[in-house]
């Protein structure tokens, strides 16, 4: 063939495009679950029960007692960019819910089989819809069901062999799922969470409705940590932030760091904050030992982009350095004051 001959540009098939886009939003079972959890919390649920099989790859099911989805919305709810949470672009400045792009359910339907069973308070029965590639596979059917929504995701990545191969073992995926559920449970103590493997009566995570942050930290991480933590807070009116949380003290060195950060109720990471706090603790802890931190930071929605992309775990926000500095100061003063007979460890 002629070496000067240019390659032909073709439009990708729509199902290929959708599958690629979906793969960017849903990277592994744990982040599919995170999206579903946030939907249940947005729907004001107080009980959220999760069942998984094979690390969520075979089955990922979440049952909540929230508002439910209106029957007439079931035909479009899994299409891309359908949402009940955002109408105008400006709403992004004030939005308080987790979701807004209407991408999670749609994305899942492109890489898995998705079933919704849902009942609102006003309907006499529940309705069931089976979805594929954003669309209902057959008309919605009435069925039995309690108020709320049950979403079942089966055979995740059945049509994306490369993604399936790149994932960890089902056990490791299960650990990641348990981690997400545990952290949301700690952050949402008024909601009762359970996580179990299918056909097992034992729960991997179980928290009570109307519990407390400390109670749930105890449930998840054990009573030793729960005894060693104390509340910490920081706020600043000009920087427009409030931070509440729990921190381990200087007398409780841990082998492994636990750093749980929620910004505007979304589980995120901030390397910058993590680094600064590690440094502070290093002055008070024996070398190589770590801390427990659960921090809930509320920032003006318009100053932070936590919602910009569903998988965007690492976040940045306006006045980041100044806010981090305030948080650092409040934690440091607690550490400095926690024990007058404390030992100083010199860094080598």
**Residues at the interface with ligand ADP (CB under 6 A):** 35, 39-40, 43, 64, 66-69, 77, 83-85, 99-106, 149
Does position 45 interact with Mg ion (CB under 5 A)? The reply is no
State which residue, 131 or 246, has the beta carbon closest to ligand ADP.
131
Residue identified by tokens 């932070």 is: 304
Query: By C-beta, is 80 or 218 nearer to ligand ADP?
Result: 80
| Near Mg ion by CB under 5 A: residue from 25, 52, 60, 104 | 104
- Judge contact between 128 and 144, C-beta under 8 A: no
What secondary structure letter does DSSP report for 23? Answer: H
Nearest to 136 by CA among 74, 59, 69, 84: 74
Query: Least distance from C-beta 340 to ligand ADP, angstroms?
Result: 50
CB of 45 to ligand ADP, least distance (A): 7
| Smallest distance, ligand ADP to C-beta of residue 299, A | 20
| Sign of the alpha-carbon torsion through 254, 272, 233, 250 | positive
Place of tokens 């952050």: 187
Could you give the CA distance from residue 293 to residue 230 in angstroms, rounded to a whole number?
10
Nearer to Mg ion, 81 or 275 (CB): 81
Considering beta carbons, is residue 153 or 228 the nearer one to ligand ADP? 153
- Selection from Mg ion, ligand ADP, none that 173 binds (CB < 5 to 8 A by kind) is none
The answer to whether 25 contacts Mg ion (rule: CB under 5 A) is: no
- Indicate the residue among 31 and 149 with the shorter CB distance to ligand ADP: 149
Burial (0-12, 13-18, 19+ Cβ within 10 Å), 237: exposed
51: Cβ contacts below 8 Å, ≥ 6 apart? 59, 61, 62, 63, 195, 196, 197, 198
Q: If residue 118 lies in a helix (H) or strand (E), which one and from where to where?
A: strand 113-119
Residue 50 binds to Mg ion (criterion: CB under 5 A): no
Instruction: Report in angstroms how near the CB of residue 80 gets to ligand ADP at its nearest.
Output: 8
- Residues in the site for Mg ion, rule: CB under 5 A? 39, 99, 104
């Amino acid at each position: 063939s002629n070496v000067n001959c240019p390659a032909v540009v073709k439009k990708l098939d729509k199902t290929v495009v959708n599958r690629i886009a979906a793969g960017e939003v849903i990277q592994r079972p744990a982040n599919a679950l995170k999206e579903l959890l946030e939907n249940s919390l947005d729907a004001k649920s107080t009980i959220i029960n999760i069942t998984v099989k094979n690390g969520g790859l075979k089955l990922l099911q979440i049952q909540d007692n929230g508002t439910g989805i209106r029957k007439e919305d079931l035909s479009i709810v899994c299409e891309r960019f359908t949402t009940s949470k955002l109408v105008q672009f400006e709403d992004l400045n004030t939005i308080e819910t987790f979701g807004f792009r209407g991408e999670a359910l749609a994305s899942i339907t492109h890489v898995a089989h998705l079933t919704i069973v849902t009942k609102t308070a006003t309907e006499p029965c529940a309705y069931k819809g089976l979805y594929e590639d954003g669309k209902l596979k057959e008309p919605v059917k009435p069925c039995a069901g309690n108020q709320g929504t049950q979403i079942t995701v089966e055979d995740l990545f059945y049509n994306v062999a490369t993604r399936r191969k790149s994932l960890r073992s089902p056990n490791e995926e299960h650990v990641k799922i348990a981690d997400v559920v545990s952290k949301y449970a700690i952050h949402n103590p008024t909601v009762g969470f359970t996580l179990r493997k299918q056909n097992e009566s034992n729960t991997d995570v179980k928290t009570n409705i109307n519990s407390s942050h400390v109670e749930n930290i105890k449930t998840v991480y054990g009573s030793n940590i729960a005894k060693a933590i104390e509340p910490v807070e920081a706020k600043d009116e000009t920087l427009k932030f409030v931070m509440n949380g729990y921190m381990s003290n200087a007398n409780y060195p841990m082998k492994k760091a636990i750093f749980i950060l929620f910004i505007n109720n979304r589980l995120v990471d901030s390397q910058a904050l993590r680094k600064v706090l590690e440094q502070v603790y290093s002055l008070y802890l024996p070398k190589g030992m770590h801390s427990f931190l659960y921090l809930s930071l509320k920032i003006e929605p318009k100053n932070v982009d936590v919602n910009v992309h569903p998988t965007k775990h690492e976040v940045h926000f306006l006045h980041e350095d100044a806010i981090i500095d305030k948080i650092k100061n409040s934690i440091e003063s607690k550490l400095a004051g926690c024990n007058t007979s404390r030992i100083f460890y010199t860094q080598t």
